[in-house]
């Protein structure tokens, strides 16, 4: 299955904030934003709605799944699942969540080996800290620039130094998000694979 905007989709979610440093506690940040991902000259876009460890992605262009195209993905880290909503079939395609396939909920990246603070910065009109981060994930070494929001700990922007790959939020807005955005929609049924599908695994 094609991943949507994912692939260290780096959904910046909640950072390592604490009450001591004046930022929102981990798991409490709620916001909406436009997400832009650039990969080898191609541009992908989605609207993001986040509520703690729950994330809703509404893709500008539907993404391909094994059951057809989906324009909405709900990531439930509490359940370790990602749900692709298939409107025409009125079905939910659940898939396991992998750390490297979502926007990180904390600034720490999968396989991170080193982090250096470059300095204060501003991105999408918000004050942030700019870090240079090195990762070694599945045998691949890579360097990133990472902008972490001062107030919330959300990763606002992530840019690879070693390939044409980046993710960033634009029109970032702190706002309360409704619970139903992150629940299974009424009238939808979860897709259950056949035994043959399970055997192909």
Portion of the chain with pLDDT greater than 70, in percent: 79
Write down how long the chain is: 201
pTM for this model (two decimals) = 0.81
Contact 115, 130 (CB under 8 A): no
C-alpha span between 96 and 198 (Å, rounded):
14
Q: Classify domain 30-104+164-200 at the CATH topology level.
A: outer membrane lipoprotein receptor (LolB), chain A (2.50.20)
What does the pLDDT read at residue 108?
Answer: 87
What does the pLDDT read at residue 99?
Answer: 63
Residue 27 pLDDT class (50, 70, 90 cuts): low
DSSP for residue 167 = E
What does the pLDDT read at residue 53?
Answer: 86
């Amino acid at each position: 299955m094609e991943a949507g905007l994912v692939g260290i989709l780096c959904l910046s979610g909640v950072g390592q904030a604490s009450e001591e440093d004046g930022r929102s506690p981990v798991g409490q940040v709620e916001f909406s934003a436009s997400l832009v991902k650039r990969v080898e000259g191609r541009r992908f876009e989605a609207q993001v709605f986040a509520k703690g460890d729950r994330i809703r992605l509404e893709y500008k262009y539907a993404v391909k799944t094994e059951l057809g195209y989906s324009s909405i993905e709900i990531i439930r880290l509490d359940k370790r699942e990602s749900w692709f909503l298939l409107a025409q079939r009125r079905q939910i395609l659940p898939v396991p969540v992998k750390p490297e396939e979502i926007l990180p909920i904390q600034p720490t990246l999968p396989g991170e080996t080193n982090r250096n603070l470059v300095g204060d910065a501003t991105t999408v009109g918000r004050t942030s800290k700019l870090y240079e981060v090195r990762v070694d994930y599945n045998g691949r070494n890579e360097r990133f620039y990472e902008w972490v929001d001062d107030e919330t700990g959300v990763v606002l922007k992530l840019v690879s130094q070693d390939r044409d790959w980046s993710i960033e939020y634009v029109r970032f807005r702190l706002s309360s998000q409704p619970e139903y955005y992150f629940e299974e929609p009424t009238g939808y049924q979860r897709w259950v694979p056949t035994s043959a599908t399970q055997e192909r695994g």
